């Protein structure tokens, strides 16, 4: 998405109105403000990013056990959303959409959070279904389907849920052949397995658990998916971090990671290297850091389960997803 910049000398495109999208996940709060790059006919060929923001808020902390959002998590979340609202106001954006996903779907007191967000930030928080979450992630990643492939298996490893979507190229663009959402993500796995989620033995158990959960979907897709004509297309902090390590980046660099191609076997060897390290050692790796270190092995367990059930030689990495899908949808609604 961000690669489709308006080039100097391109007189046949113009910038559309600024759009702002907020994605409040189980672990992260993310904002993206961008202007559609439009043709004279009104079609959108890309986006020019004006501002972005991301903060780990762990909204889903304890929600699987208690069924409610805890006070500390709501306070962290409202503080992050205030930053988003300030930036939206600074850029005078009129077209705004703010969504919340798995933690908000699960919690009984989400209306209380939404009321606080409305009162303190002015943002209207919309809780979306797992199906719409999968659709938005697929929409955001669709431009990265490789030219020589029939389609891709998009997977989005979130904090509280993981989505898999089979996209196939069609005459009017990529079409969704199948999608599924499993209510397990890096935060819920880490909390469910406790201390063992950071150990090798715990990793093996988590991977087996995820394989069992995803296996029925892999069977349903077995007629359509084959690794020769489809590639894997992964989005999420786990996958982008693995890509940064595979690329030997001293610290995370979005422009190097987004759209990068990797041999799946190489990425699995990166996972194998991480399995031998404790949380403190993982925190010292530049692209992981202290905030993500305890969630890295749960994320890797989900990643390895997906790679084993949908074997494909190559994987493309997307540092994009829900927010970009929301931008594309907002842009279509306004055109």
Q: Is 64:109 a contact under the CB 8 Å cutoff?
A: no
User: 54-57 contacts: CB < 8 A, separation 24 or more?
Assistant: 54/28, 54/29, 54/30, 55/28, 55/29, 55/80, 55/83, 56/27, 56/28, 56/29, 56/291, 56/292, 57/24, 57/27, 57/28, 57/29
Closest CA to 99 of 120, 124, 81, 78: 124
* Residue 5: per-residue pLDDT: 41
Low-confidence ranges of the chain (pLDDT < 70): 1-11, 42
DSSP H helices in the chain: 63-66, 71-90, 102-106, 110-121, 130-141, 186-193, 200-221, 237-246, 254-257, 264-275, 279-283, 289-292, 296-309, 322-334
Distance CA 151, CA 28 (A): 28
* Residue 11: per-residue pLDDT: 61
Which token pair is 157?
């490893």
Q: What is the CATH number of domain 13-128?
A: 3.30.420.40
Fold of domain 134-322: Nucleotidyltransferase; domain 5 (3.30.420)
* Residue 278: per-residue pLDDT: 93
* Residue 43: per-residue pLDDT: 74
Q: Where are the domains of the chain?
A: 13-128, 134-322
CATH fold match for the domains 13-128 and 134-322? yes
Residue tagged 């660099």 (tokens) = 253
Q: Is 4:47 a contact under the CB 8 Å cutoff?
A: yes
Helix, strand, coil: what percent of the chain each, to 5? 45, 25, 30
Q: Is 152:232 a contact under the CB 8 Å cutoff?
A: yes
User: pLDDT digits over 115-165, tens only?
Assistant: 999 999 999 999 999 999 999 999 999 999 999 999 999 999 999 999 999
Question: Roughly how many angstroms between the first and final C-alpha of the chain, as a whole number?
Answer: 18
* Residue 276: per-residue pLDDT: 87
* Residue 38: per-residue pLDDT: 84
Average pLDDT, the chain: 93
Distance CA 80, CA 71 (A): 14
DSSP H helices in 27-143: 63-66, 71-90, 102-106, 110-121, 130-141
């Amino acid at each position: 998405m961000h690669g489709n910049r308006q080039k100097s000398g391109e007189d046949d495109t113009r910038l559309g109105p600024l759009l702002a999208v907020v994605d409040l996940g189980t672990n992260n709060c993310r904002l993206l403000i961008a202007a559609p790059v439009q043709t004279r006919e009104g079609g959108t060929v890309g986006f020019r990013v004006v501002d972005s923001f991301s903060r780990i808020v762990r909204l889903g902390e304890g929600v699987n056990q208690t069924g409610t959002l805890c006070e500390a998590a709501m306070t962290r979340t409202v503080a992050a959303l205030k930053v988003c609202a300030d930036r939206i106001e600074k850029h005078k954006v009129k077209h705004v959409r703010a969504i919340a996903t798995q933690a908000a779907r699960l919690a009984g007191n989400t209306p209380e959070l939404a009321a606080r967000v409305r009162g303190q930030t002015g943002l209207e928080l919309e809780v979306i279904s797992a199906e719409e979450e999968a659709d938005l992630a697929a929409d955001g990643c669709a431009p990265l389907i490789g030219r020589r492939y029939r389609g891709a298996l998009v997977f989005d490893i979130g904090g509280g849920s993981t989505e898999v979507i089979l996209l196939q190229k069609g005459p009017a663009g990529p079409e969704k052949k199948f999608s599924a959402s499993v209510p397990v993500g890096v935060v819920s796995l880490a909390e469910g397995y406790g201390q063992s989620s950071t150990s090798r033995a715990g990793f093996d158990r988590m991977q087996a658990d995820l394989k069992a959960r995803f296996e029925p979907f892999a069977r349903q897709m077995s007629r359509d998916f084959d690794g020769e004509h489809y590639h894997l297309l992964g989005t999420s902090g786990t996958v982008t971090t693995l890509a940064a390590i595979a690329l030997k980046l001293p610290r995370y660099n979005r422009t190097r990671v987004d759209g990068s191609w990797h041999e799946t076997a190489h990425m699995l060897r990166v996972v194998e290297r991480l399995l031998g390290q404790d949380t403190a050692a993982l925190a010292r790796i530049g692209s992981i850091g202290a905030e993500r270190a305890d969630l890295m092995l749960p994320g890797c367990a989900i990643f390895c389960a997906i790679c084993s059930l949908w074997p494909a030689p190559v994987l493309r990495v997307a540092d994009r997803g829900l927010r970009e899908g929301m931008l594309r949808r907002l842009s279509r609604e306004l055109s």
